[in-house]
Amino acid sequence: MPTRIFDKRHAAPGTAPGTLRPSAQRVERVTIHVIRYSPEDFDEREVASLEECAALAPPAAGGVTWIDVVGLHDIELVARLGDTFGLHPLALEDVLNTGQRPKLDEYDDHLFCVLRDFHGGETLISEQIALFLKPGLVLTLQELPGDSFEPVRERLRRGRGRIRAAGADYLAYALIDALVDQFFPLLEQQGERIEALEEELIAAPTPETLERIYRLRRELLLLRRAAWPEREVIGALRREETALVGREVKLFLGDAYDHAVQVLDILETYRELAGSMLDVYLSSLSHRMNEVMKVLTVIATIFIPLTFVAGVYGMNFDRMPELHWRWGYPASLLLMTAIALGLIVFFRRRGWF
Amino acid sequence: MPTRIFDKRHAAPGTAPGTLRPSAQRVERVTIHVIRYSPEDFDEREVASLEECAALAPPAAGGVTWIDVVGLHDIELVARLGDTFGLHPLALEDVLNTGQRPKLDEYDDHLFCVLRDFHGGETLISEQIALFLKPGLVLTLQELPGDSFEPVRERLRRGRGRIRAAGADYLAYALIDALVDQFFPLLEQQGERIEALEEELIAAPTPETLERIYRLRRELLLLRRAAWPEREVIGALRREETALVGREVKLFLGDAYDHAVQVLDILETYRELAGSMLDVYLSSLSHRMNEVMKVLTVIATIFIPLTFVAGVYGMNFDRMPELHWRWGYPASLLLMTAIALGLIVFFRRRGWF
Amino acid sequence: MPTRIFDKRHAAPGTAPGTLRPSAQRVERVTIHVIRYSPEDFDEREVASLEECAALAPPAAGGVTWIDVVGLHDIELVARLGDTFGLHPLALEDVLNTGQRPKLDEYDDHLFCVLRDFHGGETLISEQIALFLKPGLVLTLQELPGDSFEPVRERLRRGRGRIRAAGADYLAYALIDALVDQFFPLLEQQGERIEALEEELIAAPTPETLERIYRLRRELLLLRRAAWPEREVIGALRREETALVGREVKLFLGDAYDHAVQVLDILETYRELAGSMLDVYLSSLSHRMNEVMKVLTVIATIFIPLTFVAGVYGMNFDRMPELHWRWGYPASLLLMTAIALGLIVFFRRRGWF
Amino acid sequence: MPTRIFDKRHAAPGTAPGTLRPSAQRVERVTIHVIRYSPEDFDEREVASLEECAALAPPAAGGVTWIDVVGLHDIELVARLGDTFGLHPLALEDVLNTGQRPKLDEYDDHLFCVLRDFHGGETLISEQIALFLKPGLVLTLQELPGDSFEPVRERLRRGRGRIRAAGADYLAYALIDALVDQFFPLLEQQGERIEALEEELIAAPTPETLERIYRLRRELLLLRRAAWPEREVIGALRREETALVGREVKLFLGDAYDHAVQVLDILETYRELAGSMLDVYLSSLSHRMNEVMKVLTVIATIFIPLTFVAGVYGMNFDRMPELHWRWGYPASLLLMTAIALGLIVFFRRRGWF
Amino acid sequence: MPTRIFDKRHAAPGTAPGTLRPSAQRVERVTIHVIRYSPEDFDEREVASLEECAALAPPAAGGVTWIDVVGLHDIELVARLGDTFGLHPLALEDVLNTGQRPKLDEYDDHLFCVLRDFHGGETLISEQIALFLKPGLVLTLQELPGDSFEPVRERLRRGRGRIRAAGADYLAYALIDALVDQFFPLLEQQGERIEALEEELIAAPTPETLERIYRLRRELLLLRRAAWPEREVIGALRREETALVGREVKLFLGDAYDHAVQVLDILETYRELAGSMLDVYLSSLSHRMNEVMKVLTVIATIFIPLTFVAGVYGMNFDRMPELHWRWGYPASLLLMTAIALGLIVFFRRRGWF
């Protein structure tokens, strides 16, 4: 089954804005993963409920809390999250409406991004990531278990580099950067498919080649639909005049922005190649048809006149003087050879074989 | 009958601006539906005439009146509406000229939007919605009964959420939002058509497939023609520096704007897919032709030389020594078998079967 | 003969700017039509010469004079017009150079627009309209008799509505608006052609269909070439900071601008459809070829082996034991039937008929 | 030989900027043509060397000198020109590097434009024109004799109109205008080619048609490559805040700008038509193939079964009762006629002939 | 093997920014080439280690040092370079990440550009060049030995022209200019390929032609992917308000910018031509198929009816009166000739041969 382009998970038209409806894929159990850290401390745990989460001691001054919720079908939980952390109802609606386009909304005391995470494999599966940034707090909500954030968690655990010393804005950057960088292996995969298709196209195109080209274009469209607005989100974050994102982090966002531009650049190149491939496929089909037709034409046009000659001397007229000639039979064979040779010369001259 | 792209309902060129001419589809009876509400009160009624409408007690302070007129062929009524509520003649002309592109005009004390409502089904029918916003008053004029506003009415009746407490600007937002959100089920429908077409294309394309692709492209064009300017209308409303639209409502308009962008984004993706499909269709036809030609060529080029050999030995020459050989007949059969095998080997090598 | 895209009526390269050369189509007689009006008065006459025109009593204070010259080959007349009304030489050159693109030039005390009028019919004929706007004076110069201005004249004659009370700027707007609105019936015509072509395409495409699609694209190109810069002209007039165009008239120009945008929008949609049609035509040809080939292939591949069998038993070898078998003939017929059935089953399985 | 797109006359990569290298086509003799004029005087002469040129008496106050150098392979001369008139080394490098794109550079006391002149004929030849504008001096450098400037010289000689009274900036404008206006006859020529191709396409497309369409697209590309940046050059000259170009001349440049826009507009239209033509060509080939195939199919499928029947009754079995029937032969002929009629009816119904 | 579009040399997603990882192609030995010069002095040497490099006497006041590192797999070295010269970690990461898009980053006291160098030959190889500009210092880092900088070194050695007298900014300009100018010979090469392909296309297109067109489009894509952002880099350098690039050098950068624009302009033209070529190829295949089919159709439809006639008179019915007619045989031959002539006339009229 090919990847779906349109998530059938929109609200019924006309419902009030901010109405929370479940639309995400159902996971077995909603999990809440909490990481709290400061340059010195690191604490990671899975909590059973929001209450437990709220009951955790706040991180040390300057520390950061990252709450990662996996599973979005528990509307109650999301609503209470909104209450607990003062999140805007419109943003909460977008969290649940999982077919969103990546975007950035700025609210009074928090930023809200919608981003997308991809799960590779045979079929590309795209999952919506909602990210809230408040002072000292990053809140991410995802549909499905498994994400691109594991390396960031690893960096936090090891505590090396800048990440434990920096604030929540740096963590948000690191998460966004991980989502952008995940495009590279996906692109590499698509690049390999392109190279395989190119060889297939030249060597022996089949209808499966056509289907594969179509699928490739479809997936490139899907990737571009995510990559394009994510670039805008990062660009907007860089320009945003907000105290939530520090000057230092904006420099790093510039780096992530360059990566997003590079992703789009490669995607465009791939799209152009995929477009050319379809032309090549069609041309190559036409060429093969030409070859087939040439063989048919050469054989048919050589033998059809010969068969006619044989037919003539197979007629049963009483008076056909040739039939009684001494050399009639060899002469007829000679005639046929001459006709055949004449046609062969004709085709040679046309360069048909 | 496919959906029409061009409503033949323009004014004769050269008529004075502001001249009111009927162009809308005729409905049996013009209906005027009035809803008046404030946080506490709610009154909904259908009135017989404009006079009756004007005679209604004004809503409580801070209340909102929504007058919804269905049926536009009664020019008199529209003209009197203009007089009663002080609407600009150019706007009234646009109300009646039902082939308008969505747009926003700002007049001294009222805003005027043209929007479009769709009626799904076999054929997409598009209807023009005119919306006036004045302080405490929303006036909508539509061509046909049945609209996308029913959920908004329902929210007003139930009185839950923000809607009864908010002003006329919020009601206008809610109506526009309902028009934008109606695209989602339409898109879902188109998405299903695309998936059906994709399967059909790969499995067994017929000329009906081609027609369906063409129709799909046509309807996507129609949807885009409405969605694109509606996005602009909402964008303009957000930026508009007018006292008619409050700061709070602009935030909600931002949400509607995001939805409109998402609609356009999906439409563009669909359009690209529909374009690719045509290429795939053509390629797939070419491939099938190739298959047909191969069968013809294989059969014809194998039997044509054999028939020739049979023809030769069917000739009636007096002296054909082979005919009198003891093993002449089996030898001729052997010869033919050899020719056939040779050609089969030749085609095998070319990978034709 | 199809519509020409390029009017061969440019000046020789290198001639001095402002040199007046005749390039317009020749009409039998140049006519000068003068309308003078004020809210109370209305006077319409055709004058024989420019002198007579200049000798007319000026209209009452606040009145407007509209001089409409039809026929541009009398260079003398145009030059004297320029002198009499103080028109800029570059503008006069553009008046005569009838292959101009619509544009707006602002001179010290007058505005100058180039616009285009269309004459429908079998072939679209496009005519250049030059319009000068001075305080109290509108001067139009056209190549050919017959124009889109008649409804405006009628409104002036009847004296209803705003037009007699308003100034020269309003008259200029009314004329421009008439030129924009004339696109609508032309678009309607093209829309009908498109619908006819769509039916033809699906039912029975012929080479004439192809020619018609090509002509359609050509005429849409022509219309767009006029509509696009006319939209710019109107947009520029609206923004122009000139005392020549009043604030009120700018509001009306906004309305004309919306119409021009709508025209372009429909043109773009038509262009996309015309593009799709060519693809559909090609696909439909391919499909028909497939059908033809299938019939040939089915008939040929069934009968060619049968004919071969008949040929074998038509050979004249002395010793062909089958010929003397009692059931030889029916057996041979059975063999042939079996072969035919086998092939029919084969084709059925492939879904060829 | 088709027109070249890329002049192989670039400098070796890495050479110092301002290095003078000959790259232009070699002409037999470099000529220096000097025209000096003021409203009252006019002096035109060809000088042998730069020294002679420098020795000429300066024109009267307010007079203008136009030095026109034809032939660019004499690097010495160009270098000395630079010294004599204080031209910037980067500009001199561009003068010699004749594959430049049209552009405008502003230096401290002079303006430098690169423009292109075309020599029509079978193959379009494009030549680089370098133009320097200093107070009272216009300096043009061209590769080849023969240019589009002759009408300007003629206007200078006759001394009519504005040209002798105006300054060097007006002369520069007149030269640029002549280069822009030369596009019109070229476009007219291309327009005629397009019309001829259109007729050819519909009537009887051959492979030469295809080649001609390709050449047409190529030349349109070439013309656009010159026209597009020339429009920018003129636009930049108009906006340039420099004392070198007077306010009056900017008005005339506005006129030249409009012409350049018109040129581009026609070029775009031509390009679209040329693109459509290729589609039409392909469709028309497909259609002809269909026709050919139909004839083959009709003839072959009618006669192949008949031949089979004849083959059956040509078999030599001992016992074929039909052969001895009294009406066997006429019955067989009837059978064959019936088969033929049946097939003809079948093809008629399919609308094949 | 065709050129790769995507360098598989990205970092694992989620790694910390500024992490140095080797990704470049491995060269045998990292070389450090140091050139120090001032107007009077010139010193060029290859150093073994960074320490040796640091130990070199600084150039005279106003002198410039150019350190050129070839080989990027020694991460240690790059890290120490960063420490020694105070380069930003994000820039160092980009140096090692050799699949970067050309870009310009401004840091506090240094500018950092990523550019690309091409190695021609059968397959286009693209190499990343990192360039740092600090006051008095230019630092370049490349993956592979062999570059486009040799002419610049030569100009430094000879000490002619401006280069020795100018500062580090001029050296940086000269290097960038060399990278831009190297496109010209590459474009010339592509231009020759295009011309060869054009001739091949018209004369005798083969499937190799198709492959070559596809490869051409691919390489043009690759070149454009480098040229487009390099133009942006140069444009940004010109506008950059930094003390690192002097006003004089910005003038030269303007010249390099013009070259980059010209490169892009030629690339676009080539791309359009390559696109047209594919259409021409497809059309030309179709045309050839038409020719083949015509020959088959003419021969087959002439002989098939004749063979049928011969078949009829080869039947063995007892009573076939024609067989016993005196002139039966010649009459049958006449009949066949008449049929053949009729068909020939038919085909002539259709213009088939």
Please answer yes or no on whether E14 and A152 come within 8 Å at the CB atom: yes
* Residues of chain D contacting residue E265, judged by C-beta atoms under 8 Å apart: 101, 225, 229
End-to-end CA, chain B: 45
Is residue E225 within 8 A of residue E263, CB to CB? The reply is no
Nearest-by-CA chain C residue for D352: C292
Give the three-state DSSP class for A63.
coil
Strand partners, D238: none
Please answer yes or no on whether E293 and D295 come within 8 Å at the CB atom: no
Angular region, E345: left φ>0, alpha ψ -120 to 50, beta rest: alpha
pLDDT tens digit string along B318-341? 888 888 888 888 899 999 999 999
Burial class (CB in 10 A: 0-12, 13-18, 19+), E351: exposed
Touching check for D121 and chain C: CB below 8 Å?
A: no
The pLDDT value given to residue B160: 73
Is residue A257 within 8 A of residue A235, CB to CB? The reply is yes
Q: What is each CA distance from B274 to A274, B198, B283, in whole angstroms?
A: 15, 9, 14
Size of interface B-C (CB pairs under 8 A): 181
* Residues of chain B contacting residue A210, judged by C-beta atoms under 8 Å apart: 280, 283-284, 287
Residue C209 to chain D, least CA–CA distance (Å): 11
Is residue D104 within 8 A of residue D89, CB to CB? The reply is no
Nearest to E304 by CA among A333, D308, A292: D308
Please answer yes or no on whether E311 and D315 come within 8 Å at the CB atom: no
The pair phi, psi for residue C33, each rounded to 5°, is: -110, 120
Please answer yes or no on whether A181 and E225 come within 8 Å at the CB atom: no
Please answer yes or no on whether E316 and D313 come within 8 Å at the CB atom: yes
* Residues of chain D contacting residue E304, judged by C-beta atoms under 8 Å apart: 299-300, 303-304, 307
Please answer yes or no on whether B316 and A320 come within 8 Å at the CB atom: yes
pLDDT range class, residue B52, cuts 50, 70, 90: confident
Percentage of chain D lying above the pLDDT 70 cut: 92
Touching check for C101 and chain D: CB below 8 Å?
A: yes
Nearest-by-CA chain D residue for E190: D6
Nearest-by-CA chain D residue for E302: D299
Instruction: Locate B138 and state its tokens.
Output: 């929303």
Percentage of chain B lying above the pLDDT 70 cut: 92
Please answer yes or no on whether C174 and B103 come within 8 Å at the CB atom: no
Residue B260 to chain A, least CA–CA distance (Å): 11
Please answer yes or no on whether B300 and A300 come within 8 Å at the CB atom: yes
CB within 8 Å of chain E, chain A residues 226-245 = none
With a cut of 80, say whether residue B14 has pLDDT above it.
no
Query: E226 versus E159: which is more confidently predicted?
Result: E226
Touching check for D4 and chain C: CB below 8 Å?
A: no
**Sign of the Cα pseudo-torsion (E200, E203, E209, E215, in order):** positive
Angular region, D313: left φ>0, alpha ψ -120 to 50, beta rest: alpha
Please answer yes or no on whether B266 and A323 come within 8 Å at the CB atom: no
CB within 8 Å of chain E, chain A residues 160-199 = 160-163, 174, 177-178, 180-182, 184-185, 187-188, 191, 194-195, 198
With a cut of 60, say whether residue A7 has pLDDT above it.
no
Nearest-by-CA chain E residue for A162: E16
Residue E52 to chain D, least CA–CA distance (Å): 29
Give the three-state DSSP class for C320.
coil
Choose the mutation target among D171, D279, D345 for the interface with C, i.e. most C CBs under 10 Å: D279
Mean of the per-residue pLDDT values of chain B: 86
pLDDT tens digit string along B273-319? 998 888 888 888 888 888 888 888 888 889 999 999 999 998 888 88
The pLDDT value given to residue E1: 39
Instruction: Locate A269 and state its tokens.
Output: 């190149």
3-state helix, strand, coil in chain E (%, to 5): 55, 15, 30
pLDDT range class, residue B1, cuts 50, 70, 90: very low
Please answer yes or no on whether A5 and B351 come within 8 Å at the CB atom: no
Which of these ranges, A33-42, A270-279, D23-32, D164-173, has the smallest mean pLDDT?
A: D23-32
CB within 8 Å of chain D, chain C residues 308-327 = 310-311, 313-316, 320, 322-324, 326
Nearest-by-CA chain E residue for A151: E14
The pLDDT value given to residue B101: 87
Touching check for C46 and chain D: CB below 8 Å?
A: no
Other residues' Cβ atoms within 10 Å of the Cβ of residue E235: 17
- Which among A211, A289, A326 has CB closest to B293? A289
Please answer yes or no on whether E221 and A273 come within 8 Å at the CB atom: yes
The pair phi, psi for residue D104, each rounded to 5°, is: -125, 125
The pLDDT value given to residue A1: 40
Q: Which stretches of chain C drop beneath a pLDDT of 50?
A: 1-2
Other residues' Cβ atoms within 10 Å of the Cβ of residue B196: 12
The pair phi, psi for residue E288, each rounded to 5°, is: -65, -40
- The rounded distance, in Å, linking the Cα atoms of D286 and D301 is 22
pLDDT range class, residue B58, cuts 50, 70, 90: low
The pLDDT value given to residue C339: 93
**Sign of the Cα pseudo-torsion (C187, C188, C189, C193, in order):** positive
**Sign of the Cα pseudo-torsion (D173, D178, D182, D184, in order):** positive
Nearest-by-CA chain E residue for A267: E6
Instruction: Locate D13 and state its tokens.
Output: 């990569």
Q: Which stretches of chain D drop beneath a pLDDT of 50?
A: 1-2
- The rounded distance, in Å, linking the Cα atoms of C271 and B163 is 43
- Which among D278, D285, D303 has CB closest to E304? D303
With a cut of 60, say whether residue E48 has pLDDT above it.
yes
Please answer yes or no on whether C319 and B329 come within 8 Å at the CB atom: yes
Please answer yes or no on whether D301 and C304 come within 8 Å at the CB atom: no
- The 8-class DSSP code of residue B327 comes to T
Nearest to E89 by CA among A38, A162, A239, A246: A162
With a cut of 70, say whether residue E38 has pLDDT above it.
yes
* Residues of chain D contacting residue E319, judged by C-beta atoms under 8 Å apart: 326, 328-329
Strand segments, DSSP code E, in chain A are 31-37, 42-47, 64-70, 103-106, 111-119, 125-134, 137-142
Please answer yes or no on whether A210 and B287 come within 8 Å at the CB atom: yes
Is residue B30 within 8 A of residue B96, CB to CB? The reply is no
Other residues' Cβ atoms within 10 Å of the Cβ of residue B157: 13
Burial class (CB in 10 A: 0-12, 13-18, 19+), A346: middle
The pLDDT value given to residue B11: 58
- The 8-class DSSP code of residue A133 comes to E
Instruction: Locate B350 and state its tokens.
Output: 């070319």
- The rounded distance, in Å, linking the Cα atoms of C253 and C245 is 10
- The rounded distance, in Å, linking the Cα atoms of D189 and D269 is 15
**What's the whole-number mean pLDDT along residues A332-341?**
92
Chains in touch with E (≥3 Cβ pairs < 8 A): A, D
Please answer yes or no on whether B276 and A214 come within 8 Å at the CB atom: yes
The pLDDT value given to residue D1: 40
Contacts of A327 by beta carbon, 8 Å cutoff, 6+ apart: none
* Residues of chain C contacting residue B210, judged by C-beta atoms under 8 Å apart: 280, 283-284, 287
The pLDDT value given to residue D294: 87
Please answer yes or no on whether E155 and D16 come within 8 Å at the CB atom: yes
* Residues of chain C contacting residue B295, judged by C-beta atoms under 8 Å apart: 297, 301
pTM for the whole structure: 0.82
Instruction: Locate E23 and state its tokens.
Output: 């990704």
- Which among D8, D18, D316 has CB closest to E316? D316
The pLDDT value given to residue C286: 85
Touching check for B14 and chain C: CB below 8 Å?
A: yes
Contacts of C9 by beta carbon, 8 Å cutoff, 6+ apart: C23, C24, C97, C98, C99
- The rounded distance, in Å, linking the Cα atoms of C141 and C158 is 24
The pLDDT value given to residue C8: 53
Paired sense of beta strands A42-47 and D111-119, if any: unpaired
The pair phi, psi for residue D237, each rounded to 5°, is: -60, -40
